[in-house]
Amino acid sequence: MGFFEHHGVEEKEFFRSSNLVNFTFPLHFHRAYELIIINEGELLVSIDQKEYVMNKNDIAFIFNNQMHEFKTMDHSNISIVIFSPELIGDFFMKYKGYIPENNVIHLRKAFDLDNLDSIYRQKSFLYDICGKLVDNTEFLPVEHSTKTEILHKILLYVDRNYNEDCTLKVIAKQLQYDYTYLSKLFVQMTNISFTEYLNQYRTSQACYLLKNSYQSISEIAMNCGYNNLRSFNRNFKKFTSHSPKKFRELA
């Protein structure tokens, strides 16, 4: 079974790239988007149980919460880009709740990731990839009933309703699934409880608002789904090691 990584939950608006040689990584998922770019060699990539054999200048665009893994066939040199959905907010809002029918596209030439040294160049690069993906595939709603797709629905519900009464019991009623079943499924697939995930998600939204708005801390707490300021402060410090006030001062 796959495991959950915290990319896209612990912070907002980030862009990270790395180069890997002859690398293999097990089944996992995260809220962030991910690009896997093949520079040399051959890579076997599995995304939501669909397998792709990727070669030079192929790129896999993995949507948030898609289960994926990859392994080197013989030799591979790849670049990995992991970035928050908010970095391409227009695309994220339009395709939230959808996944590509085909996650892989072919590039005519390689990109020089070293030149993406500003947020403007990063966004330009990412939106260019988004445009190529839209031109080359259809998008399917997340609406089937496999365990992965049920998990997608839960995480999508959190995306849309984290600032309200967003309990797993409410979600179970909305999705018409048994609460106990969803609770066990969530822990099985993520290795954390739903409540833990929700609190991390709300904290990530609070971090963004503390950095990018003039809202008071009490307003931010309320807008992130907390009706108790003490609970907000306790959870925020648990995940960031700072109080909201100190975090804003350091931002």
Distance CA 139, CA 133 (A): 10
In CATH terms, the fold of domain 3-141 is: Jelly Rolls (2.60.120)
pLDDT at 12 over 70: no
Q: What is the mean pLDDT of residues 148-169?
A: 88
Per-residue pLDDT band at 1 (split at 50, 70, 90): very low
Q: Encode pLDDT of 115-141 as tens digits.
A: 998 999 999 999 999 999 999 999 998
Class of domain 147-250: mainly alpha
pLDDT greater than 50 at residue 18: yes
Q: Map out the domains of the chain as residue ranges.
A: 3-141, 147-250
Q: What is the mean pLDDT of residues 144-173?
A: 86
pLDDT exceeds cutoff 90 at 29: no
3-141 and 147-250, same CATH topology: no
Listed range (100-109, 117-126, 141-150, 164-173) with the worst mean pLDDT: 141-150
Q: Which of 83-87, 147-151, 201-205 has the lowest mean pLDDT?
A: 147-151
